Each structure stands twice: as C-alpha cells, then as structure tokens.
Structure 1
Amino acid sequence: MKTLLGRPAPSAPADHLTLRRGAARVLIDNWTGTSTVPSRTLYPHQWSWDSAFIAIGLRHLSVRRAQRELESLLAGQWADGRLPHIVFNPAVPYGAYFPSPDFWQSSRAARGVGAPAIPETSGIIQPPVHALAAWLVHCSDPAESDRRGFLARIHPGLTAWHDYLLTHRDLGGGGLAAVVHPWEPGMDNSPCWDRPLARVEPAADTFRRADLDHGSPTDRPTDLDYGRYVRLAATYRATGYDDRSTVHGFAVEDPGFNALLITGELALARIAEHLGHAGGAHTERAADLTRRLVDRLWDDSAGLFRARDLADDSLIDERSVTGLVPLVVPGLPADLVRRLLETLNGPHFRAPATRLVPSYDLSGPSFDSQRYWRGPAWFNTSWLIERGLRTHGWHAQAQHLRQALVTEAGRTRFAEYIDPLTGEGRGARYFSWTAALALDLLLTDDKEPLP
C-alpha cells in the first residue's frame, strides 16, 4: 500500500480503510512540525514514551516523520544520559500545562547534571520504549534509514539512555532500574503507588491544575495526589535532579518499566549489529535483567509481577497491568508465561465491556472504572500485551486482542482510554498513540519478526 490516503490494497476491507484514514488524520493534525503532541487539548508538548509509540505508527505513514519524532525527543537528552519525560514547546504559553517549564527549571536547576540550555524539559523520565521504536522505524524502510544515517545518529543517545537507567537508577542495588516519581512508569495514578505515596507530604496548594480545564475531575488524579506529585518533583529539583544526592521519598522498581528496558536492550543489540558493532553485551544485559526481574518482582502466588517498594524492600500487594507487561520479554521461563496467561484470562483482568486489558484488578479495593490508570483499559499497554502474546507463540489470543484494539480505537474516536465496565471512551479523543498503534496493527503482518 503506497499511501494511507490513496487507493487501498485490493484486500483491504472498507471499514479498515476508513480507520486507516482516520488514524492518519489524527497523526497529521497532531504534528507540530518537529514532533507529535499526544492531544491538542490536554497534552500540548512532546511526551517521551508517547513519542516512541507514535513513531511506531508513523512509520507506516512517513518514515522520515517517524525518524524525526525520535530525533526531536533525543534533542532534549541530558549529558548524564536521561531522556526527560517532556520536551517543552516554547511556543506554548506556560499556563496551558502544569507543571510547565518555569516549574521544572531544567536549564538552570539541572546544569550540574547536563540538562541542555535549549530546549527546556522536565526532570523526570518515562519507560524506555525508544530503542524498540527506533528499530521498528528502521525495519519499515532499511534503505531510507541507512541513506539518512538514522541508526548511526541515534545509537549513541539510546545507549547513553540505557546506561543511565542501569547505573544512576539502580537505587535498590538489585540491578533493576527504579522510578522516583509516579509519572515515571507512565501509569501515573495507579493504585500501586498509593502506599509509597502515603509517606509523601503534599505540597501546599499553591499551584493551578491546567489538566482540569480539559479533563473531567472524575477521570483525573485527586488534588491530594497531585500535591504529592508536586512535592516529589520540587524535592528532586532542589537537589539539581542529581540521583546520587537526592533522598527519594518515592523509589519503586516497576515490572513494566524494566520489561521495556529488556526489550530495548534486545533492540539495541540488533541496532549495534546492523551498524557493524558487537551486540553481545546488550543481549547479555537483557538476559541478566530478565533473571533479576524474575528474582525480584515475580509473585508466584498472584501469578504476575509486582512492583517493589524500595523504602522497605517489599512487594506492593496490588494487581496492575504493569505486572502483565513483562509478557513482551522473550526470555521469560515458560511456566511464568503460562501463569501470566492464566492471570490475563482470569477474573482480575477479564473486563465485561471490552477485550482490552484493564489497567488495574477489576476486583481490587481501589478499582475505579473511570479514573486515570485505576481501572480504565489503555491502548498502549494492550498493544504491548498483544506483542507479548505473539512473542510466546499465542497467536490466536494475540489476534483476538489485535482485533479488539483496532475496533475500539475506531468506535471511540481514538479515545485515550476505555471504561472497562461500560466500554465508553474516556479522556482525550483523537489521542495520538491510540491512532498510531491502531495504524500499526492494521498495517503490520502479525508474523513480523520481533527483536
């Protein structure tokens, strides 16, 4: 198929063509000239893991634009290797989003750890989906990628990013990367963070939440939680975002985050080999991280992975989709894969109104079908689980989930997430990663080789 907006391939059903065109329109409309915003209303800047997922879909629309998506994000990388979770658009007024650049103060507060003078960024991070995205973008048109030197240009930055996570962020000493803010694992408001957050004194009510201008309060985090988010970020800023000198009030090893680091290491091995370098070190790191993931975060009694609270070195007793995301790891022991599949298909995650995977245990004490990451089903985590099912040879179940993803994306006008009890689309509409991942599933052979 030469163009998404032109004549369809003969085998393309009419509804699939309509969906492709709709998804392409979302990505075109949300493009800023250098990157793609998640939403024109609620999220007016560039977000880190959003851009990685967006690039995976953009590769089917424009390989050059997908490359630019990742390159523009890497332009905000710090000298210590971290990729900040937001790269700010200087044309957007500060009041359009909080916390804005004047809160993070990256170019001033983080000078000691190498934040760039331009662009302004946040000081925290998000899950490392970037190496996987880069490899998939390359694979969609290897000749164009090589002609532009795409992998050669971004390989050093991606390597530095993973090195940062495996050194500066090994806060528990167990070889896994830790997150130091609930926004870092990407599942911002998950009940998994309630226990460690309870120890954090909320910031005084001296900030204005711009998110409530565009989102319903019933969908968004509470003011109390937001006050704790602000306190953690302000404390990190006060130490110059230096991981070695900050006493972190929140430090957690998250299974989904580390699973994505493992898949990223495998992608980096492929990238290195393509560039004529040895990839064995990355393959070995992936294998070592897989062993540590199982040793530190697997809960056999629950049949899924748990997050570990580093304050008391204990597993957090909550069932979340982050504990299923490790299905993307190809080196998981076969018995763990079977247990994960049982959990995925069991009562905790089998939603009555959608085949997408809920973000939190349907029978859990903190379940909320509408509130951000406390129950709603998200497209990006379901995309990862679909990929994990294919990784382990469960193609029929993967196809079932794949069809649900594309159907729900079109039905809800590319909603940010879905109420698992009613099937209603929630959050922003025309959401970029929903459109991008639907496009990817429509246009990718389900037997595409996995890194």
Structure 2
Amino acid sequence: MIAREAVRVLVANWDGSYTVPSRRLYPHQWSWDSAFIAIGNARWSPRRARSELLSLFGAQWRDGRVPHIVFNPSVPDSAYFPGPEFWDVRAPSGSATSGIVQPPVHAIAAWQVHLAEPDTTFLRRLYPRLVAQQHFLRTARRSADGLMAIVHPWESGMDNSPAWDIPLAAVAPGPAGVARRDLTHVSPDERPTDRDYERYAALARAYRDTGYRRAGAFAVEDPLFNAAYGASESALAKIAAACGLDPAPHHAEAARVTAAMVEHLYDDGLFHSRDIDSGILLRSHSAAGLVPLILPDLPREIVNALTGTALDRFEIKRGLLPSFAPGTPEFDPVRYWRGPSWINLTWLVWHGLRHRRPDLAELLAEGMIRAVSTAGFREYFDPFTAEGHGCGDFSWSAALVLDILAQHGLDGVPTSLSQVGEELGSLAESDDVGHHVLA
C-alpha cells in the first residue's frame, strides 16, 4: 500500500527530532523540506510533525531568519557541499547553519499540523518565531515594489530553473573544480552543471563575506517566494485567532503583498520574477508563476487566467505539473528544476486549486499518486512518463503524498497509520528529540 510505503520512507529518514530529505544526498535538515514533511507527518504522527518544526526553529537566527540548512554535527563536513565550514556561522542555539533562507511556507505547515491534531500550546510556542521570520523578510529583503527579494537561486527552492538564466549569466563564476558531492549519488544529466555550481558558490561566498547582510549580483523578486510569504500571513491570521490574538495585521499584510504581486509580477496569464537592479521582468515559463494560486485573495480573473495557463502551457490534464513549460527551448524533462515534475511544487498548485477547481485538483492528486506508484518516492519525475529521477526515498514526496491520500480519500489510508509507524520501528511518539529543538 502506498501509504505504508510513505510512512516507511519517513521512518527511515527520521533523525531524532527532524527528517532528512534523503539519507545519501541530503544528510542534514532543510528548511522548506521540513515544512512539507511536517504536513505529511501530521497525518500519522502529529507529535513528530510538531517536533519537525520546533527543531527547525530552534536554529533560528536572532534577526529572525530561518536558515535553509541546519547541519547535523555528526555528519562529516565533506558529506555535503557547501558544508558548515563554507558558511562559517552558528545560530544562537549553537547549531551550524547556512546563511541563506528558503520559501517561508512554515506558517502554512504549522496551521496544517494544528488542524490534524489541534494543539494551541504548540501554536503559541511557534507563533512568535513565525512572526519573527516574516519580520526578517520585511525588514531585510523588501524591495521598493514592496515585495521580498531572494539573493541566491537556492533561496527560491527551484535552484537551476531557467527563470534564473539571465541574472545568473551576469554572475562571475568562482574557481573551477567545486567539490560536488551530488554527482556521486545522481547522474550528471539530472543535476545542475558545473558552471551553475561555480556561480552558486561565488554568490554564496560573496553574501557570506558581507556578514549575510547585503545582496550581491543576484537580487530577484520571485513569485513562488512571495506567494509563500503572503499565504503564510493568511495562515498566521488563523494561528493568531486560535491563540486569542489579533489577526487583522496579518490579513492586511497578506492583502498588501497580493496586490503588489499583481501589480509588479503578473502579465499574460502567469506571474514572473523581476530583477531588482534592472527593474526588468524576467519573463519565463516557470511553474513558480502558478504558485500564487495559494493566495486566498487573488482576484478571480487572475485565478481564471492562471488556471487556463496551467491547462494550456503546462498541460496539467496529464496529472503531473512540469516545473517549466514543455515546448519551450529551455525545457528538459530530467534535469533538476528545468522541467521535471516535483511533488512539492505540484502540491502547492493543488493546494491553490482544491477549493477553486476541485476537478483539476483531483487530476493533480491522481497524477502524484500514479507517479509514486510507478516510480517510488523519487525526488522528481519525468512529467510525461512519470519515470523517477534524482534520489530515491525522498521525504517530501512521501510526506505530501500522505497528505494527498488523506484529503482525497485515496488508497484507503488507514486511521491507524501511527500503528504502521510503530510496526516499522518508529520513535514518533518518543520524547527523545534532538539537540536544537526549540525550548
């Protein structure tokens, strides 16, 4: 059964207080991975889901940023590049972390975890940390357009998307011969190129050398990142209300960023990124431009246009959402974020469609289930054949499929999934948590 296999993956990747994305390729804790993983874990172990988020926010910086990687001290530095020695920074908790962020989907995850098993104590513990995360983005990353900027492609979550080709071309690559660890686990044909990595390293090094304060040659308003920010404000409004606090400021901020996105990033049926330095709209065919469907106050005419684009340019009636539109010169069905279908990206669009176009949401749900049934819980999939690519036993693929199964009533998801976890050797209900869990 798919649900049982999904729990098996999550149990195997559990690391005491959080879940690694992949034992071999990604042996640490990743920021937005943990948010998606918590959503799925809530379907069978709410305690583990809460631990996932509390663990991540235990490594939050004083300025409110949530780093995109929290390093496991028991993993050798050489196991992943760039590792803790490259970033050379520690959170107040003492955890070694990276210095950049990822899309702020964590408030969305926290609310989903609460819905699975209501726990206002958990919400009250996490709420001020979530507010601090959003405050960091407003104060450190807000552009003149009123939108949040990313300063590295890794912050988008869609690392080597063709949407970044133009701004990345202006980045002088660093020294050749970056010590890549990914190619020992995954075919080079499925990963970013060496030149990409040289530019990534150069950007990260330059940002590090400013003390993680000033953007360098890459500063972009990304629709996925800003949609996550806006949707998180809407989720924070619900969290605030559940905690007996005023939700109005969160509603106002969600409405403000939605309006700014429509004004500055939307054109011709899709949202696009904007280069902050030049002011140029980076027109591309990235599926990131569909993610604003998660914004609850998006105008109806734009929802309709995005839905038409999803059907036409992205061919979602197949059931899988390509990360870049097929038929474009940049599209590649197997190379990382340049075309393959990802469960998390599809989940975000499904999340935005489920109350607006339940027929299309069901198509995407069935497509995700069909992909993992065919290829297992892979990192990403060919959007036409559903062939799996990247690493196997990938955590957010397993977690979000559990959520899809539960919400659509597919695969006969049992109400006793927690028992499945126990049978598989789970520590889900244990109080034995890791070293940087939020106190």
TM over 0.5: yes
Gaps of 5+ in 2: 410-439
**Hey, what does 1:262 align to over in structure 2?**
230
The residue aligned with 2:6 is 23
Instruction: Give yes or no for the alignment of 1:311 onto 2:277.
Output: yes
Call closer, same or farther: CA 1:93–1:324 in 2, change over 3 Å: same
**Structure 1 residue runs of 4 or more that deviate by more than 6 Å after TM superposition:** none
Q: Which residue of 1 aligns with 2:25?
A: 42
- Cα RMSD (Å) of the superposition? 1.3
Aligned counterparts of 1:81 and 1:24: Cα–Cα separation in 2: 32
- Counterpart residue identity of residue 6, structure 2: A
Q: Does structure 1 conserve the Cα–Cα contact (< 8 Å) formed by 2:178 and 2:194? A: no
Give me the TM-score of the superposition, normalised by structure 2: 0.91
Q: Supply the distance in 1 between the matched residues of 2:102 and 2:9 (Cα, whole angstroms).
A: 23
Question: Which residue of 2 is the match for residue 363 of structure 1?
Answer: 327
Q: Are 1:198 and 2:164 counterparts? A: no
Decide which moves more: 202-211 or 281-290: 202-211
CA shift for structure 1 position 222? 0.5
- Matches for 1:82-97 after TM superposition, within 5 Å: 82-97=65-80
**Match for residue 286 of structure 1?**
254
237, 243, 257: which one aligns with 1:275: 243
Instruction: Give the 3 Å change call, closer, same or farther, for CA 257–247 of structure 1 in structure 2.
Output: closer
**Map of 2:100 onto structure 1:** 124
- Secondary structure of the corresponding residue to residue 308 of structure 1: strand
The residue matched to 2:261 in structure 1 has which SS? helix
Q: Do the aligned partners of 2:233 and 2:250 also contact (CA within 8 Å) in 1?
A: yes
Paired position in structure 2 for 1:110: none
Q: Is the 8 A contact 1:351 1:362 kept in 2?
A: no
Residue pair 2:151, 2:215 contacting (<8 A) in 1 also: no
- Residue 421 (structure 1) shift: 3.5
Deviations 1:162-204 (A, max 9, x none): 011112101x311111100000010001000010001111110
Is the partner of 1:325 in helix, strand or coil? helix
- The DSSP-based 3-state class of the residue aligned with 2:155 is coil
Contact 2:374 2:387 in 1 (8 A): no
Alignment of 1:50-449 (within 5 A): 50-107=33-90, 115-116=91-92, 118-142=94-118, 145-146=119-120, 149-170=121-142, 172-242=143-213, 246-300=214-268, 303-346=269-312, 348-350=313-315, 354-391=318-355, 393-444=356-407
CA contact (8 A) 2:310 2:316 kept: no
CA distance in 1, matches of 2:93, 2:406: 39
What per-residue deviation string (whole Å, max 9, x for no partner) do you get for residues 113-138 of structure 1? Answer: xx426100000000011001001101
AA at the equivalent of 1:385: V
Distance 1:97 1:230 in 2: 13
Residue by residue over 1:23-68, the C-alpha shift from the partner in whole angstroms, topping out at 9 and shown as x without a partner, is 0100000000110000111100000000000000000111110000
The code of the aligned residue for 2:133 comes to W
1:318 is displaced (CA, Å) by 0.8
Q: Which amino acid in 2 is paired with 1:164? A: F
1:247 deviates by: 4.5
Distance 2:285 2:215 in 1: 28
| Alpha carbons 1:318, 1:364 under 8 Å: kept | no
Do the aligned partners of 2:150 and 2:156 also contact (CA within 8 Å) in 1?
A: yes
Cα separation, 2, equivalents of 1:252 and 1:317: 12
Quick one: distance in 1 between partners of 2:177 and 2:9? Answer: 35
What SS does structure 1 have at the residue aligned with 2:154?
Answer: coil
Kindly provide the amino acid, as one letter, of the partner of residue 96 in structure 2.
E
What letter is aligned with 1:357? L
Identity %: 51
Secondary structure in 2 aligned to 1:257?
helix
Greater displacement, 326-335 / 417-426: 417-426
AA aligned to 1:426 is H
> C-alpha distance in 2, partners of 1:445/1:382?
15
Shift of 1:207: 3.0
TM normalised by structure 1 equals: 0.89
Give 5+ residue unaligned stretches, structure 1.
Answer: 1-17, 108-114, 447-451
**Shift in alpha-carbon separation, 1:225–1:212, aligned structure 2, 3 A:** same
Q: Which amino acid aligns with 1:309?
A: D
- SS of the equivalent of 1:64 reads helix
Q: By how many angstroms is 1:161 displaced?
A: 0.2
* Amino acid corresponding to residue 190 of structure 2 in structure 1: D
Report the Cα distance in structure 2 between the residues aligned to 1:23 and 1:96, rounded to whole angstroms: 26
* CA distance in structure 2 between the partners assigned to 1:98 and 1:380 by the alignment: 23
Contact map agreement 1:351 1:421 (CA 8 A) in 2: no
Query: Structure 1 pair 336/196, CA: closer, same or farther in 2 (3 Å)?
Result: same
Which range moved further: 198-207 or 258-267?
A: 198-207
Residue identity matched to 2:216: H
CA deviations over 1:197-253 (Å, ceiling 9, x no partner)? 0111111025310111111100000000100000000001111101xxx24210000
Q: Counterparts of 1:361 and 1:402 in 2: how far apart (Å)?
A: 19
For the residues of structure 2 that align with 1:334 and 1:440, how far apart are their CA atoms? 27
Q: For residue 250 of structure 1, what is the amino acid of its counterpart? A: F
C-alpha distance in 2 between matches for 1:350 and 1:196: 28
Task: Give the Cα–Cα distance (whole angstroms) in 2 for the partners of residues 395 and 405 of structure 1.
Answer: 15
